[in-house]
Structure formats: structure tokens, C-alpha cells
Amino acid sequence: MTNHTTPRRTFLTALGSLPLLALRPAWAQGMGHDMHAMSAAPKAAGPVALAPVSALPAGAPLVSLQKLANTSSTPGTFRATLTAAPVTLPLIAAGPTELWAYNASLPGPLIEVFEGDTVEITFVNNLPQPSTIHWHGLPVPSEQDGNPQDAVAPGARRAYTFTLPPGSAGTYWYHPHPHGMTAEQVYRGLAGTFIVRAKDDPFAAVPERLLACSDLKLADDGSIAPSDANDEMDGREGQFALVNGQRQPVLRFDASGRERWRIWNANSARYLRLSLPGATLTLVGTDGGLLEQPVPGLTELLLAPAQRAEVIVDAPTKAGRVALVAGVYARGKMGDARPDQPITLLQVDFAAPPAQPPTALPAKLRAIADLGAPQATKRVVFSEKMSMAGGVHSMKFLVNRKQFDMARMDFTSRAGEVELWEIVNESDMDHPFHIHGTQFQVTESEMDGKVTPAPYRAWRDIVNLKSGETVRIKLMQRFKGPRMFHCHILEHENAGMMGQVMVI
């Protein structure tokens, strides 16, 4: 989740020293407006007039995530249907927005199950494109994981079935993963949340708040704006930053003075450098569930695209309204993207603090066993390359110098074997690394020759890499079959920054 290279308690201390525009490559210097002509995908359009941010009403009470109803009466089985289809909603006054959504809900409905449950989801594809559902972060068999090879044609349906093992409690999500169309399907609205609960959750008595962060980029007529050259290069960031599908909603904080927040970064490319001044934040969970011990005293929380966190929030000592802000995070954007501004995601209304100070959190949340000595190693190098193919400027995003090829297996792994993966970012911008099929443990990171061990053990399926950074992780795949790994800036994934490992 956060930047594991910096000391605990101050997750972003190193950022102050980063140059604002990290290491622009020579070709990018002085190109000025020619950068508009650059594109990683041939379909990138020129800029269209965007709706002003004020076009989307703000300040409504925060809604709860809509839940997907379980239609099974068998204990331990969750059965439901998810239908992906266009849906037209009146979001801004200028005109209707045709979204693509699961069950007409933005974000898609919340799936809530317990460890040990069997999940049976019928996926109905009523989109004009092939699609899949990828169960991001969940330990599901390869053929149930919505790989691009297993596309569901327009008008077709399929069942996804998997059983969630003990220890899998955590905060996950689901989204499409069809070849070459993932970014578009997600930015049109297809993504939903997924929680696996444990029966012995140490925070079961703490009021829980679910905050699914995503964004939308709308043209001034209300339509979904096409991606422009900057979107294709840097990853698309919509002008509307949403929480549970709302712009700047208001959260009335629990009168007990304490809540557990689960936060999803379901944005295609926006990094969330979160702060909530005055409140006391304690990190208790990452992508794959609870930590071993609480990590107190967070001042900021950096969530890269696709990352999730669980945070215990204790109210400030004074009543009042505090903004949850996503501050500027310099991730090495190129092109002529406008400078980022801090964004208010949410307003939090705190009541007068309760008479009793908050009780101490449990010192131990659960055990996370070290995966142990690796029996095999893999090395993944992220890089970028300018291309002039066909006389068109475009940016290629590469894994081990190659663009993704669905017909090519990049690696072979053995099920049940612990592996050390070294991931190297030789490019000029940050990239969040993700692998399917299993959670991993970050062991250390390296920058400018300085090795920093991970400050604590955690289960993750996303780790961010800054430009020039190397991160080492340990993982073990349990199921046989192909697995994807890629940058989770979805435009980069689409532009080739993805590979496959065959687990045998």
C-alpha cells in the first residue's frame, strides 16, 4: 500500500526531495505542443472540451455501497448475477452520460462474503465488446480469474466459481480484463468492490466505512470523454474524483469517535496521497487483509492505482468538518498535462469527541508467516520507449523490453514453490506492479544503491515503483495455469506493460 521504502509513521517523508518532474527524457524536453500528437493507442483523439468540475453536484450525504444480494439459500454459498451493460444516467445538467456499469450501479455492487464461502457469479455481457471479470487480488483458480484469453463475447454469459480459503479475509475488487479494452471498460464505469470477512475479525465491533475511490472524465455535453494523448501516456485521470460514485460527499463520523475505513483506489491512474488533518490514523490492513500489528501515527497514506488499505480513524479532539484530501503526488508525468492540484475527495463531519478517550487497539491482529527461502527467482524490468512506427509518435510501455503478447508466456513457475521476484523500474515514471493469483510479501526496495527492508510484513497484490526503484517481493502461486502481471495504470497495461507466467 504505502511506500514501504520510507520509515513507518511518516510514509511520505522522502517525497519532499523528489524533483517535481522527475527525469524527463531528452525527447520530451522542449517538444511543447507536439506532445499532443503523441499517443500510445491509435484511437486516441484530440482534446475535447471537458465539463467544469462544478458541473457535478457535490456535498450530498455519503451513500453506502449498494450490496449485491445473495440469491442462494445454501449456507456458505454466495450466488448472484453481474450484468455489464450500458446505462444512461443524468450526472450533469448539460446532458446524459452513457456509462458501462455492473447491474447499472456506479461503482458496481459490493460483494460481501466470508472466508470459506463458495462464490458463484453468473456474468452476463451486454456490452458491445468482449469482456471478462477479473477478481483482483483474490486467490482464485486461473480459469476463473477473468484472463484476457477467456473473453466472454457480447451477448454471452459465463459462470465464475471459486472458494475463498481461510486467511483470505481482506479488501478486494473486481473489474474487466479483456485484451486491449480493460482501460476503456474501467473508465466507462466497470469496477466493483469485494470484501472477504473473517469470523474472528478483531475490529468486528468498530463501525465500518467503505470508501471506493474512482474517477470519471466527462466532456462538456455529459458524454464520457475520449482519452487524449496525455491520458494514453500518463494514464487517464478524470476531472471528477468520486467516492462511492459521488463528488465530495459528506460523511457524518460515528459518535463513538472511531471508525474502520476500507479505502479502495479504483482509479485507472490517479494516485491518492491521502490526508485527514487532526484525525488520528492507524494503518491496520493492506490489499490482502490485516497486518500483524497496527502501524500508528500515519500522517499520509499513499494509495497507488488498484491499492487498498484498512485504517482505524480516531476523531480529532475538536468537533468540526475536515476534508479528506488527495494531495499532489509527483509521479513523473510526461507530456503537457496540466500541473496537478490537491483534490478534496470527501468532507468528514466530526461531532464533539466522546467523554472516554479511544481504547487501545489490539497489539496483535493476526500472524503472517514469512514465506521462507525462495526456490526460484524472476526479474521484471519496466521500461518505456518512444516509437515512430507508421510516422506516428507513440509511447511503448514494456516488460523486459517487450510489449505484451497474449500468445507468449514470459515465465514458468511451479505451483507451491516460493519465488523471489525482483521488479526494476527503468522508466521515468511511477508504475504500480500487480500480479494475479496470489498476494505477495515485499521484502525490500532499492534506490540509488541503498537497500531498505520492508518496515513490516503485509499481504499485498500491488506495489508501487518509483522511477529508478527496484522492489523485491516473495510469492507463491497455488494454482496451475497462466497468470498475468502488469502495471496497474490501465493505459500502460493496454500499451504493452504486461506479461504472463505459466504456473505448472
Name which of 388, 379, 381 is nearest 427 in CA terms: 381
Least Å from the CB of residue 494 to ligand C2O: 11
Does 486 sit near ligand C2O (CB under 6 A)?
Answer: yes
Contact between residue 262 and residue 208 where contact means Cβ atoms under 8 Å apart: yes
Helix (H/G/I), strand (E/B), else coil: 36: helix
* Count of alpha carbons within 13 angstroms of residue 122, beta-carbon side: 11
Measured from the CB atom, the residue of 151 and 233 that comes closer to Cu ion is 233
* Interface stretch with Cu ion, choices 210-218, 287-295, 358-366, 424-432 (CB under 5 A): 424-432
Does 56 sit near ligand C2O (CB under 6 A)?
Answer: no
Does 177 sit near ligand C2O (CB under 6 A)?
Answer: yes
* Interface stretch with ligand C2O, choices 29-37, 108-116, 235-243, 484-492 (CB under 6 A): 484-492
Give which of Cu ion, ligand C2O, none residue 272 binds (C-beta under 5 to 8 Å, depending on kind): none
φ and ψ of 37, to 5 deg: -80, -10
Measured from the CB atom, the residue of 247 and 431 that comes closer to Cu ion is 431
Measured from the CB atom, the residue of 333 and 434 that comes closer to ligand C2O is 434
Least Å from the CB of residue 491 to Cu ion: 8
Measured from the CB atom, the residue of 333 and 436 that comes closer to ligand C2O is 436
Measured from the CB atom, the residue of 105 and 230 that comes closer to Cu ion is 230
One residue of 4, 175, 188, 217 binding ligand C2O per CB under 6 A: 175
Measured from the CB atom, the residue of 40 and 110 that comes closer to Cu ion is 40
Does 434 sit near ligand C2O (CB under 6 A)?
Answer: yes
Does 454 sit near ligand C2O (CB under 6 A)?
Answer: no
Measured from the CB atom, the residue of 175 and 258 that comes closer to Cu ion is 175
How many residues contact ligand C2O, by CB under 6 A? 10
Instruction: Identify the DSSP state of 186.
Output: H
One residue of 272, 298, 484, 495 binding ligand C2O per CB under 6 A: 484
C-alpha 382/C-alpha 366 separation (Å) is 34
Name which of 395, 458, 500, 504 is nearest 177 in CA terms: 500
Does 209 sit near ligand C2O (CB under 6 A)?
Answer: no
Contact between residue 191 and residue 502 where contact means Cβ atoms under 8 Å apart: no
Least Å from the CB of residue 205 to ligand C2O: 31
C-alpha 235/C-alpha 227 separation (Å) is 9
Does 213 sit near ligand C2O (CB under 6 A)?
Answer: no
Q: Which residue is at the shortest CB distance from ligand C2O? A: 136
Does 487 sit near Cu ion (CB under 5 A)?
Answer: yes
C-alpha 168/C-alpha 104 separation (Å) is 28
What is the DSSP pairing of strand 418-425 with strand 376-387?
parallel
C-alpha 151/C-alpha 148 separation (Å) is 6
Here the cell at position 408 is 507468449
C-alpha 418/C-alpha 432 separation (Å) is 22
Q: Which residues make Cβ contacts (< 8 Å) with residue 165, sequence separation at least 6?
A: 115, 116, 139
Q: How far is CA 224 from the centre of its chain?
A: 21
Does 306 sit near ligand C2O (CB under 6 A)?
Answer: yes
* Interface stretch with Cu ion, choices 22-30, 156-164, 365-373, 484-492 (CB under 5 A): 484-492
C-alpha 117/C-alpha 179 separation (Å) is 30
DSSP secondary structure string, 392-452?
Answer: --EEEEEETTB---TT---EEE-TT-EEEEEEEE-SSS-EEEEESSS-EEEEEEEETTEEE
Measured from the CB atom, the residue of 137 and 222 that comes closer to ligand C2O is 137
Which residue carries 503485509 as its cell?
458
Does 136 sit near ligand C2O (CB under 6 A)?
Answer: yes
Here the cell at position 386 is 518512444
Does 466 sit near ligand C2O (CB under 6 A)?
Answer: no
C-alpha 457/C-alpha 314 separation (Å) is 24
Residues of this chain that interact with ligand C2O (CB under 6 A) are 134, 136, 175, 177, 306, 434, 436, 484, 486, 488
Residues of this chain that interact with Cu ion (CB under 5 A) are 431, 487, 489, 492
